[in-house]
Amino acid sequence: MATSIPIVDFQQYGLHIKNETEITNADLKKIGDKLIAAFDSIGFCYIINHGIPQDLIEKIFGVSKTFFDLSTEAKLKYIRSKDIADNHGYVEMGRESLNPQRPGDCKEAFNFTPNHAKFWPTKEVPEMQDIFHKFYDECKQIAFRIFDVFTLGLKLEDRNFLRNSHKNIGCDRNCTTIRSIWYPPLPKDGSIKPGQVRCGEHSDYGTLTLLLQDGIGGLEVCNKNGDYIPATPVPGAICVNIGDLMQRWTADKLIATKHRVLIPESEVLKNKGRQSIAFFIHPDDDFVIKCLDGSDKYKPISALDYLNWRFSLTYQ
């Protein structure tokens, strides 16, 4: 039973390694085995020495905060469409309920999906579009490397299997999304509803999620014993977890772990905002997810059909 989040070192295969083809399958499998062991134990891990530049991480946190500091009226000009197939733009406070049994979550977000990105707050936050694009590309590159070691850790014969099923990331026919999330300081007027939290208990929808947190903390992860443990931020690390589609794909060999962000008990933390940046990775829209072991434990479903079904349950 895990009581902490494992750490996996990507020093041998981070983005600072320019020629990835020089790394042997045997070396990648060593990393992949550690990755699979972490996901098998709790569904989460931290990746260090990933190679995404720290200054770029700081920039995306910075432009995101500038956007969230705008007036509500200004932010609503860039609101996400109510069309569940369009996942770009601002998501206002309380619109989502990741646990449908709770009131709407106490958070705001800005989603960026390249093939849906028709507008940006260019006047208010001039650098936002450029920085989001650059960060998206870095996340895409490290995601492919994570997929390489993951594939070998699963003992699949084709090292490129997961790369090939996600080959359209950043293009049409793929819904992989950056989500910048802002949890504002909590109101002191008693307007928090019974059962309301910052982010309700949920598992993610896709195959993998890359998450960067600020130093405030608050994310909790459910271990196999049913206890929620803190995912204490590790400076410079990416928190990685598997999603529901990966659970289906592996026929429950790996489980998509539920996680949440509750209302802090500390008055000091209640008065502080919290930021995170997530990169939600999805297979190409038309790719059909079938159990890798051939068991047909789950009915085959296309990545897009599954995502649209999950969205229909989430948005208020």
Q: Write the pLDDT tens digit of every residue in 249-259.
A: 999 999 999 99
Minimal CA–CA distance to 98: which of 231, 291, 243? 243
Q: What is the phi-psi region of residue 74: left when phi exceeds 0, alpha when psi lies from -120 to 50, beta otherwise?
A: alpha
Q: In the CATH scheme, what is the homologous superfamily, with its name and number, of domain 7-314? A: B-lactam Antibiotic, Isopenicillin N Synthase; Chain (2.60.120.330)
249, 289 Cβ separation under 8 angstroms: yes
Q: Work out the burial of residue 4: count CB atoms within 10 Å of its CB; fewer than 13 is exposed, 13-18 middle, 19 or more buried.
A: middle
Instruction: Name the pLDDT band for 135 (thresholds 50, 70, 90).
Output: very high
| Listed range (10-19, 136-145, 260-269) with the worst mean pLDDT | 260-269
User: In the chain, where does DSSP find H-type helix?
Assistant: 25-41, 54-68, 72-75, 128-153, 161-165, 244-249, 267-270, 303-314
Name beta bridge partners: 302.
Answer: 288
DSSP state at residue 22: G
Long-range contacts (CB closer than 8 Å, 24 or more residues apart) made by 55-62? 56/131, 56/134, 56/135, 56/138, 57/135, 57/212, 57/277, 59/127, 59/131, 59/135, 60/131, 60/132, 60/135, 60/180, 60/277, 61/212, 61/214, 61/275, 61/277
Residue 88 has what pLDDT? 92
Q: What is the DSSP string of 117-179?
A: -----TTTSTTHHHHHHHHHHHHHHHHHHHHHHHHHHTT-S-TTHHHHHTTTTTSTTB--EEE
Other beta carbons within 10 angstroms of residue 152's beta carbon come to: 24
User: For residue 163, which phi and psi values (nearest 5 degrees)?
Assistant: -60, -45
Single pTM value for the model: 0.93
3-state secondary structure of 36: helix
Task: Give the count of beta carbons closer than 10 Å to the beta carbon of residue 11.
Answer: 12
- pLDDT for the residue numbered 151: 95
Cα Rg of the chain (Å, integer)? 19
Confidence of residue 93 (pLDDT cuts 50, 70, 90): confident
- DSSP letter assigned to residue 15: T
Structure tokens at 20: 């990835």
pLDDT at 180: 98
Within 10 angstroms of residue 118's Cβ, the number of other Cβ atoms is 9
Of all residues in the chain, the percent with pLDDT exceeding 70 is 96
